[in-house]
Amino acid sequence: MTKITYITHDGTRFEIEAENGSTVMENAIRNSVPGIEAECGGACACATCHVYVDEEWAPLVGSPEPMEEDMLDFAWEVGPTSRLSCQIKLRDELDGLVVRVPERQG
Ligand code: FES
């Protein structure tokens, strides 16, 4: 199990235990973390699962693949550590991951 902390725009923290192999988006939806919409269900085709990866974690999480990068152009207020959360798969080394949810999607 891997712990993830989501921090919503108003500063509320959601700490959850997630299974490796699942995505940051899936766990947000399952645990009703507000602010992540995931309209396309994880197909990298909607950009409504945008999160900001905490800077400390960004190197471990890595950068987006080209397809995700193109889709991020449609996300609202993209920053240097922006990722689409449906494209972040959990693994042991991401235990403790912190992501911030943007004020809105799109
Ligand atoms: Fe649609 Fe991530 S859920 S791009």
What string of DSSP letters covers 19-45?
A: -TTSBHHHHHHHTT-TT---TTSSSS-
Question: Of 46, 67, 101, 105, which is best to mutate to test ligand 1, by the most ligand atoms within 8 angstroms of its C-beta?
Answer: 46
Question: Are 8 and 16 contacting, i.e. CB atoms less than 8 angstroms apart?
Answer: no
Q: Is 42 in the pocket of ligand 1 (CB under 6 A)?
A: yes
Question: Are 46 and 40 contacting, i.e. CB atoms less than 8 angstroms apart?
Answer: yes
Say what the pLDDT of residue 106 is.
79
Classify domain 2-100 by CATH number: 3.10.20.30
At 28-81, the pLDDT tens digits run: 999 999 999 999 999 999 999 999 999 999 999 999 999 999 999 999 999 999
Global pTM? 0.97
Average pLDDT over residues 9-19: 97
Ligand 1 centroid, distance to 45 Cα (angstroms): 6
Q: Is 97 in the pocket of ligand 1 (CB under 6 A)?
A: no
| 13: three-class secondary structure by DSSP | strand
